[in-house]
Amino acid sequence: MTTKANCGPVWVVAEQVDGRIQNVSLQLVGKARQLADELDVPVEVVLLGQGMKDVVEPLFAAGADRVYLGDDPVLNWYHAETYTEMIVSLALKIQPEILLIGSTCTGRELAPLVAARLATGLTAHCIDLKINDQRILEQWIPAYGGLISIICPQKRPQMATVASGVFPLPDMDESRRGELVMLKAPEAVSGRIRTLEVVRREPETVALESASIVVAGGIGAGDEDGWRQISDLARILNAALGCTRPVVDAGWAGHETMIGQSGKMVSPELYLGIGLSGDLQHLIGVAGARVMAAVNKDARAPVFEQVDYGIVADCREFVPLLIEKIRAYRQSR
């Protein structure tokens, strides 16, 4: 899609799980409202699923003017080809100026499929979105040790993915009303991909996104034994356990625990970084933490420039000692 003189609406492709709209979608609607007000255009949301007619009100309360709702049994489970076809067909008709999608497991697959079909650009894992003086969307990402902005001046829509927690939940106005437009689901679904079974796995620890305390470990743990010490600390603190990319690459933890630009965004009351250098890619993910502390044996580690409290120590010696002190304190009470 090429650009045109008059701006189209700002779109959000919302995501639902078990009929519940995800927080990241509401956060994006709130941001879309800000962008749309600057462009003087409406905010429109595309929502696909089953049994969703009674749960669209939060989208209007968050700032949507119109919701395109696909409500059909065939849309109950996310299906990449079907979802892409419906979104692309509607986008070609409506011609949105901006299209935002959450950087979730689903969004990270869906966004590039939609962008490719629309022959437009896509910026992943944005940490900020701004309208510049030319009324073009500046899409900000961490890169080259700092922040850079990416623009898509020729093609439309201007597309970006944003992780949960980057933008706050908007102030919900329950009195807002908007237009609900029903979409017709395709009669036939491609047979290339089929959902055979959905297996749910309960998290072993506190969820990162909702945790009040987050313990994040880095490659400075040294080995799997050192990583287990950090995991034990998180458990005794009833904290969520996060990590940096090198920990994932080492195989000590799964990608779902990675914090940062290409991982999860967290906003805990207390963040404790252990054995990590504090590169920008990671610290972007904890920008919303209220109190930050770090443990690193290198007094010159960049992380000490970002935290409220710094402890210069070998984490393999410090963490067992801290666990011992915590246990002793609790037993004395």
How far apart CA 42 and CA 36 sit, in angstroms, is: 6
Domain boundaries, the chain: 10-183, 208-332
How far apart CA 65 and CA 259 sit, in angstroms, is: 33
How far apart CA 259 and CA 146 sit, in angstroms, is: 17
Asked if residue 118 lies in contact with residue 92, where contact means CB atoms within 8 angstroms, the answer is: yes
Structure tokens at 147: 């922040």
Whose structure tokens read 């959450």?
Answer: 102
What DSSP state is assigned to residue 303? Answer: G
Asked if residue 29 lies in contact with residue 170, where contact means CB atoms within 8 angstroms, the answer is: yes
How far apart CA 25 and CA 164 sit, in angstroms, is: 8
For 331, phi then psi, to 5°, come to -70, -30
> Residue 319's closest CA among 213, 214, 228?
228
Sign of the CA dihedral with 80 first, then 85, 91, and 94 last = negative
SS3 127: coil
Asked if residue 319 lies in contact with residue 229, where contact means CB atoms within 8 angstroms, the answer is: yes
CATH 3.40.50.1220 fits 208-332, yes or no: yes
Whose structure tokens read 């990449």?
Answer: 80
Structure tokens at 272: 């404790």
The DSSP bridge partners found for residue 270 are: 213, 291
Asked if residue 10 lies in contact with residue 44, where contact means CB atoms within 8 angstroms, the answer is: yes
pTM: 0.77
Pick the CATH number of 10-183 from 3.40.50.620, 3.40.50.1370, 1.20.140.10, 3.40.50.300: 3.40.50.620
Do the domains at 10-183 and 208-332 have one common CATH topology? yes
How far apart CA 136 and CA 109 sit, in angstroms, is: 25
- What pLDDT score was predicted for residue 4? 47
Half-sphere exposure of 42 (CA within 13 A, CB side): 11
Q: Enumerate residue ranges in the chain where pLDDT < 70.
A: 1-5, 145, 188-191, 201-206
How far apart CA 161 and CA 262 sit, in angstroms, is: 11
First to last CA, the chain: 66
Structure tokens at 91: 């986008």
- What pLDDT score was predicted for residue 3? 47
Structure tokens at 77: 């489970």
Structure tokens at 326: 């915590």
How far apart CA 124 and CA 67 sit, in angstroms, is: 24
